[in-house]
Chains A and B, each alone.
Chain A
């Protein structure tokens, strides 16, 4: 299995990469970690005539946490985020989700932003980043723009990015106090894409009542499924077994999962109901400081 011939570009500046994408449009693909794209090229499912490698662009490998939040550049490896102390302290959901992505050698190359642009609805990071309220910063012929992840995913492998646009970084807002989170998934084997996965973020007020909640599910629909509406039922009260189970049932009903060799749609709905209940309870417990 060999890739079809292509012209390789290794730009050293964002403007140069954007100009290449503008010039070659549909005939070009962006290469960051390559852990999904290169296998598709080997199988010739993807046959770009031009490959634009971002890895030599200075500055895209920056991982920065400050008072405003977290910024993950387009070439920051999953393994680097996984091992970062600031991320572990303030965005532990990301570390929990990355730990389930494939294997160490894949995470050494694979990027967080690349996983979002790959837009696999069954993958961990799109749902985790959606639950964390992420925003993509993209560069194109008309300059930069910000795209909230809530409007980013358009279908399997499809995003709001134009072919002439390039994702520069993922931004995550700083977590509020008394916030807890959890990533839970069911996979046939460790490292496999999950049969279903759930990201939950719960914020409590000083009385222990649910004040904020975000919920997103992997492999529940053709896009990472934003279940914010279903989870709203928890607002204003303590997160208990009954309330969390009710959200789980609502998510199972709202989901539109696939039938495939890993599980039927009906099985996925049952798994989602259980994972949602457990993830909400775990996130709430962590928000209270007990886990």
Chain B
């Protein structure tokens, strides 16, 4: 049991063990941003609609605004910061977003990338032979809202990254 006061949690974030003291009502998104200073995860609507806060929990994409940090105790979390290499080298998905104008203001980008990453990983797990078609890509990012690009650049970027 955790009283409304602060409670200790330990979880794995981007491969590292991280500890914190949180109120049970603190969302995972706020824990990542405010306690761990991993501000790549963006908080848009805090209501599950926009998808900007998408991270991976035990390998599946989730809304980090709809999960309390205490629920992630003992679990494995990956954020957008896990994509680039240690020297800052962009992940192929990030590189494709850059090349295809897959971002403009950048607010939705972390969520878009984490949704696209799940598509890439699930296809790899299933041993998919053909690259995904546009409909499959659009379904994968249907829960992520972008107000700048009109989506076409994002779809092109994911298609390119998963083709190569």
Contacts and interface: CB of A to CB of B under 8 A. Distances in A.
Given A39-B48, A191-B142, A34 B24 contact: no
Interface string B115-156: 100100000000000000000000110110000000000000
A105 B62 contact: yes
A104 interface: yes
A39 B49 CA distance: 10
Interface stretch (B63-71, B77-85, B102-110): B63-71
A102 B139 CA distance: 11
Most chain A beta-carbon neighbours within 10 Å: one of B2, B7, B24? B24
Contacts of B160: none
Interface in A13-42: 31, 34-35, 38-39, 41-42
Interface residues of A, number: 31
Interface residues of B, number: 31
Contacts of B27: 2
A148 B65 CA distance: 34
A232 B57 CA distance: 46
Contact of B25 (A6, A31, A191): A6
Interface in B27-53: 27, 46-48, 51
A1 B4 contact: no
Interface string A33-71: 011001101110000000101010000000000000000
Given A1-B46, A7-B3, A108-B61, A39 B142 contact: no
A5 B48 contact: no
A221 interface: no
Contacts of A233: none
B94 interface: no
Contact of B47 (A10, A39, A51, A190): A39
B143 A8 contact: no
A103 B27 CA distance: 20
A79 interface: yes
B134 to A, nearest CB: 14
A276 to B, nearest CB: 27
A103 B51 contact: yes
Nearest to B7: A8
A8 B67 contact: no
Contacts of A212: none
Contacts of A55: 71
A286 interface: no
Nearest to A51: B24
A102 B143 contact: yes
A51 B26 CA distance: 13
A20 B140 CA distance: 38
A16 B143 CA distance: 36
A42 B61 contact: no
A8 B1 contact: yes
Interface of A: 1-10, 31, 34-35, 38-39, 41-43, 51, 53, 55, 79, 102-106, 108-109, 190-191
23 contacts: A1-B47, A2-B27, A3-B68, A5-B4, A5-B25, A6-B25, A7-B2, A7-B3, A7-B24, A9-B2, A34-B71, A35-B63, A35-B66, A38-B48, A38-B67, A103-B51, A103-B143, A104-B143, A105-B51, A105-B118, A106-B48, A106-B63, A108-B62
Interface of B: 1-4, 7, 23-25, 27, 46-48, 51, 54, 57, 60-63, 65-68, 70-71, 115, 118, 139-140, 142-143
Given A2-B27, A6-B4, A8-B2, 4 more contacts: A5-B25, A7-B24, A51-B24, A55-B71
